[in-house]
Chain A
Amino acid sequence: MSGRITAGVVARVVVRTMGELSITLGVVTLLFVVWQLWWTDIEANREQEQLAQGLEEQWASGTGPAPVDAAAAPSAPASGAAAPGAVPVSDDGLLAAAGEAFAILRLPTLGADYQEPVLAGTATSTLQRGIGHYEGTTGPGQIGNFSIAGHRTTYGAPFSRIAELRERDPVIVQTAAGYFVYRVSAIEIVSPQEVAVIAPVPNQPGVAPTTAMMTMTTCHPRYSARQRYIVHSTFVSQVATADEVPTVLAQG
């Protein structure tokens, strides 16, 4: 090149730069997909394993900050509460410090080794580390609706196989207070705005609860956020050790 700048040279440089930028943007977009579908799983799986292990060690040693004793806590909506069903959204609704793990969810249907930590609150950053407990909903085993949310894809995807759950399948929530055994009672697919599914009495907002329920929410269909996959469970019993869980399930 002679170094003379002609209109043709300028045009070529502009077009080439635009082309290069477009290709770069495409590559970065592909990298984002790789990160979202692959890297977040790796990071979150490691974190969730650590959280669950940390909880078990904490419970075994009986030291550390005592996790919420959900069973011993006063059951809020049962009696004397101002307006049943109108649980105020406040920091008090958290079962532990925001983002802190307080329980382990076990779904024997998905394997004996299925265990995922349950964290307080449903902030985006919390759900990226594990299953989140909707603040304001009741605790495990209590009268009302213990409601949790988790990723179905990406970020460790704790609820990736939730569609394998069938009615009467056991759902076990382990806290410092013991094992809370539920059985799946209903499965539904709703719109993301359908907050009534986590009402104290599912799908009946404003009605005072008389039974202990549990609700899991995640996205549906997979790799989409168009709808929500909802699994309701009914409380069966609370036991102190893992050995007693099969006995309870055999009875109920």
Chain B
Amino acid sequence: MYELLWRVIPGAWGVKVVLLIVLLVAVLAALFLWVFPVIAPLVPFNDQTVEETRAMSAGHVPAVVP
């Protein structure tokens, strides 16, 4: 996989390294700015609120569902 990447990237050895670093930074930025914020609500350790779940019977104080 990475061997193929190395072969696909054009240029001499030095150019390849520079291009790879640019690519790496771009991937990191994409992860930090778009991918992780989308994933974060899906992981289970981010809830701070109390909320009623389906398991609870009706008749309680209506809770805020975040």
Q: Which residues of A contact B (CB under 8 A)?
A: 16-17, 20-21, 28, 31-32, 35-36, 39-40, 85-89, 121-124, 127, 132, 134-136, 149-152, 154, 159, 190, 192-200, 205-206, 217-219, 223-225, 228, 230
How many A-B residue pairs lie within 8 Å, measured between CB atoms?
110
A39–B50 CB distance below 8 A: no
Return B35 CB to nearest CB of chain A, in Å: 9
Residue of A122, A124, A132, A192 touching B41 (CB-CB under 8 A): A124
Q: How would you classify the secondary structure of chain B's contact residues: helix, strand, loop or mixed?
A: loop
Q: A152-B48, A225-B46, A228-B50 are in contact. List 11 more A-B contacts (CB 8 A).
A: A36-B43, A89-B64, A124-B46, A132-B66, A149-B49, A190-B50, A193-B56, A195-B51, A195-B61, A198-B61, A219-B45
A36–B47 CB distance below 8 A: no
A194–B61 CB distance below 8 A: no
Bound CA span A152–B46, Å: 9
User: Could you give 11 example pairs across A and B, Cβ below 8 Å?
Assistant: A31-B31, A31-B32, A36-B40, A36-B43, A89-B65, A121-B64, A136-B62, A192-B50, A195-B52, A195-B56, A219-B48
- Residue of B at shortest CB range from A34? B32
Bound CA span A110–B34, Å: 34
Residue of A21, A152, A198 touching B50 (CB-CB under 8 A): A198
Closest 9 CB pairs of A and B: A195-B63, A205-B61, A149-B49, A199-B61, A89-B62, A20-B1, A35-B36, A134-B64, A225-B47
Residues of A within 8 A of B53 (CB): 193
B13 contacts A by Cβ under 8 Å:
no
A122–B62 CB distance below 8 A: no
Bound CA span A80–B10, Å: 77
B60–A31 CB distance below 8 A: no
Residues of B within 8 A of A40 (CB): 40
Residue of B39, B55, B62, B64 touching A86 (CB-CB under 8 A): B62
B48–A127 CB distance below 8 A: yes
Q: Which residues of B contact A (CB under 8 A)?
A: 1-3, 28, 31-32, 36, 39-41, 43-53, 55-56, 60-66
A195–B50 CB distance below 8 A: yes
Bound CA span A152–B43, Å: 16
**Most chain A CB inside 10 Å of its own CB: which residue of B28, B50, B56, B62:** B50
Residues of A within 8 A of B50 (CB): 149, 190, 192-195, 197-198, 217, 228, 230
Bound CA span A170–B22, Å: 52
Residues of A within 8 A of B1 (CB): 16-17, 20-21
Residue of A32, A136, A154 touching B46 (CB-CB under 8 A): A154
- Residue of A at shortest CB range from B5? A20
- Residue of B at shortest CB range from A195? B63
A224–B45 CB distance below 8 A: yes
Residues of B within 8 A of A132 (CB): 49, 66
Return A208 CB to nearest CB of chain B, in Å: 12
Residues of A within 8 A of B48 (CB): 122, 127, 149-152, 159, 217-219, 225, 228
